[in-house]
Chains A and B, each alone.
Chain A
Amino acid sequence: MNYIATIGEREIKVTVEEVGVARYVVTGDGKGHLVDAHQVQDSVWSILYGTNSFEVDVQRRGDEYEVLIDGDCYKFTLMNEQLKALSRAGGKAAAGKALVTSPMPGKVVKLLVAEGEEVKSDQGVIVVEAMKMENELKSAVAGKVKEIFVKEGEVVESGAKLLLVE
């Protein structure tokens, strides 16, 4: 199976081929490596890369990955090659519309905008508090606040829809 990893500006084609129980040949940048991979603890994998042993915590949000190895965080996107091609062909249907969601469980302390209000890209729109820390969340796009899904004082779960900017 072919994948495209995007690290910053750079794209790398990665091929995964299953060659045995939990054993794979992974080819990246044209070089093939034998990899022995076991999911050992929730999101944590034990990877034998050649004979080198790594503990790797793989976190994924959509196509975006954050991988922890030895205390370092590797951020990149990874997509199936075909899907990547499809998404390119389809263009950016979602552009100009953005849902602001809560990145963590917490309490809505303050709404900084009202429905119908014009906001700029990167403008703070809502404040969510967790663990005595207030976090201002921003709109990813410029536009009009279409809908607000929460009230001040409301306790929200991680990923909860807060408001829609269009």
Chain B
Amino acid sequence: MFRKILIANRGEIAVRVERACREMGIRTVAVYSEVDRHALHVRCADEAHLIGPPPATESYLVIDKIIGVAKQSGAEAIHPGYGFLAENPLFAERCEKEGIKLIGPSAHSMRTMGSKTLARKTVQAAGVPVVPGTVEPIATEEEVLRISKKIGFPVMLKATAGGGGKGLRLVKTEGDLHSSLRMAKSEAKSAFSDDSVYIEKYIENPRHVEIQILGDRHGNYVHLCERECSIQRRHQKVIEESPSVIITPGIRAAMGKVAIEAARAARYEGAGTCEFLVDQDRNFFFLEMNTRLQVEHPVTEMVTGVDIVKEQIRIAAGERLSLRQEEVKQTGHAIECRVYAEDPDNNFMPCPGLITSLRTPGGPGVRDDSGVFEGFEIPIYYDPIISKLVVWGKDREEAVARMKRALNEYVVTGVKTTIPFHIRVMNNRHFLEGNFDTNFIDRVFFPEERERELPHFEVAVIAAAVQLYLGERKRAIAARPVGTGEPVSMWKYSGRPGMPKIL
């Protein structure tokens, strides 16, 4: 087993990894940028090294600096967390070359799964269902039309080199094909200098369900069941849960089996996740594999009792998986809400800044994976995630009620957070019924929210009026003439036309 691990990350995920290391008796090495000297991941580590200026491109993303600290500190392994260098094959290669163990898959596995078309080819060959369509780029419009007719409209045209929504076109009918193809190609050309496109069937109102897998270098694999991740805002997951209400034991076993096949095909080692789209008839299609620890891994930990980070570390150290498939049990129900420093009542505007006060929730079944504390100033340079609130309940109903209760206990001041947004989702009828897909938040939830009547306007105005009254009184006392002897009633001042300006 390793004696010392470097954590090449910051925020809540760095703290999460440090917690696992501490419990395993492994020393931790933190790296930090100039704005992160006070950060929680530095405070929780055994050692800490400054690696440069605040922008990630000059600190957390600089491979040479991370490797330099690993060598200097004598760390035998590096945990990359998620984001930053976590899925960068160049980093994985460099670690391999330097004889430092990267806690994650090989550069080969990352490359295979990182390319959309190569991943599609690889898993399809292993018998994994993918969204119907082509694997190779398509040359002519006749060819595009022929294939589109075969798989059936609507179809998606996607740039082979694609990413970030560029070169992506939904084609609803045959009539739209000509102009859509032209636009997709020209967008792809300008964005990626490569105008090749391929076709996929468009899955309407899909659910996003993913399977967590673990694999060791001895060829053993297990899956840790599914996570339901359909609650997304602008294609970003915001709430995740396990189990998914639409997944039956039969579908779960089938999805688990193909996820393992996909991992095996990429000779995958460590923790990874296969993402699937599930259509309205509960057919599932492989979307992509994430070759890292996922943000939402705690929901799986809560229902299976498996500490995924510790498993990652053991696997990286060459140990065999500590459990067999038949030992994996999914118990109860877990939900995670991602708490971001964003203002849900002003178009989710980012809100970095000083956390002036903080009360974290507690009580039965509550877990708060946080990267902040009272008095911490959230920097402007990184992701807005400050914490992940996770709850466990004996069933979905209890888990939702518990999440609502925990969110109500969670008080953050100084910066706005998405906690109020999560409370509203927990109260939404469709969410309670489990009736949603990946378009739910933008197409159903927000329009419903705009129509909803708020129950406590009276209390809100009363609280504001009392606060305003006390502020005026304080200013009136402060503005009182000095040395007039007798205390003067504030009413006298506040009643005058020349009363202190309060605006």
Most chain B CB inside 10 Å of its own CB: which residue of A57, A63, A106: A57
**Neighbour of B349 across the interface among A55, A83, A135, CB < 8 A:** A135
* Contact residues of A between 96 and 150, Cβ < 8 Å to B: 103-107, 129-133, 135
In the complex, whether B351 has a CB less than 8 A from a CB of chain A is: yes
Distance from B382 Cβ to chain A, minimum over Cβ atoms (Å): 7
Is B464 in contact with A33, judged by CB distance below 8 angstroms? no
Q: How large is the interface on B (under 10, 10 to 19, 20 to 34, 35 or more residues)?
A: 35 or more
Quick check: is B13 within 8 A (CB to CB) of the other chain? Answer: no
B466 adjacent to A24 (CB under 8 Å): yes
Known: A80-B472, A83-B502. A45 touches B460 (CB 8 A): no
B465 and A72 form a contact (CB under 8 A): no
| Known contacts A1-B494, A74-B454; A103/B349 CB under 8 A | yes
Q: Is B325 an interface residue (CB 8 A)?
A: no
Select one of B420, B463, B468 contacting A47, CB under 8 A.
B463
Task: Give the contacts of A1-53 with B (CB-CB under 8 A).
Answer: 1, 3, 5, 7, 12, 14, 16, 18, 24, 26, 28, 33, 35, 37, 39, 41-45, 47, 49
Question: B-side interface residues toward A, CB under 8 Å?
Answer: 341, 344-346, 349-353, 356-357, 359, 380-384, 407-408, 411, 413-414, 419-424, 427, 454-469, 472, 494, 497, 499, 502-503
User: What's the minimum C-beta distance from B292 to chain A, rounded to whole angstroms?
Assistant: 18
Q: Is A60 touching B472 in the complex (CB atoms < 8 A)?
A: no
The 0/1 profile, CB within 8 Å of B marked 1, for residues 68-93 of chain A is: 11111111101010110000000000
Q: CB distance A74 to B457 under 8 Å?
A: yes
* Complex contacts, B345 vs chain A, CB 8 Å: 66, 73, 75
Which residue of A71, A83, A131 is within 8 Å of B423 (Cβ)? A71
B380 near A76 (CB under 8 angstroms)?
no
Q: Give, as a whole number of angstroms, the nearest-CB distance from B431 to chain A.
A: 13
A104 touches B351 (CB 8 A): yes
A16 touches B466 (CB 8 A): yes
Separation in Å of the B131 CB from the closest CB of chain A? Answer: 29
Docked Cα-Cα span, A1 to B380, in Å, equals 41
Residues of A with C-beta under 8 A to B350: 104, 106, 130-131, 133, 135
Q: How far is the CA of A154 from the CA of B421 in the complex (A)?
A: 32
Contact call B468/A78, Cβ cutoff below 8 A: yes
**Contact indicator B466/A69 (Cβ below 8 Å):** no
Chain A residues near B462: list those with CB within 8 A. 14, 26, 28, 33, 35, 37, 47, 49
Instruction: Please report whether the interface of chain A is mostly helix, strand, loop or mixed according to DSSP.
Output: strand
Bound CA–CA A53/B482 (angstroms): 40
- Measured between beta carbons, the chain A residues less than 8 angstroms from B454 are 72, 74
Which A residues touch B424, using CB under 8 A?
Answer: 71-72
Seed contacts A71-B420, A132-B382; 11 additional CB < 8 Å A-B pairs: A16-B466, A24-B469, A41-B359, A41-B411, A47-B462, A58-B464, A71-B421, A71-B423, A74-B461, A129-B380, A130-B350
Q: Is the CB of A42 within 8 A of B380?
A: no
How far does the Cβ of A67 sit from chain B's closest Cβ, in whole Å?
Answer: 4
Q: How far is the CB of A94 from chain B (nearest CB, A)?
A: 12
- Structural contact, A45 and B467, CB atoms closer than 8 A: yes
Could you tell me the distance in whole angstroms from the C-beta of B464 to the nearest C-beta in chain A?
5
Which residues from chain B contact A26 at a C-beta distance below 8 Å?
462, 465-466
A81 CB to nearest B CB, Å = 11
Q: Which residues of A lie under 8 Å from residue B407 when comparing CB positions?
A: 71
Interface assignment of A160: CB less than 8 Å from any CB of chain B = no
Q: CA separation between A78 and B464, bound complex, in Å?
A: 8
Minimum distance in angstroms from B38 CB to a CB of chain A: 16
CA distance A32 to B502 in the complex (A): 25
- Given the complex, which residues of B lie within 8 Å of A44, measured CB to CB? 357, 411, 413
State whether B502 touches A80 (Cβ < 8 A): yes
- Quick check: A49 and B353 within 8 Å, CB to CB? no
- Chain B residues with CB below 8 A from A164, complex form: none
Do residues A16 and B463 form an inter-chain contact, with CB atoms below 8 A? no
Closest to A76 in B: B461
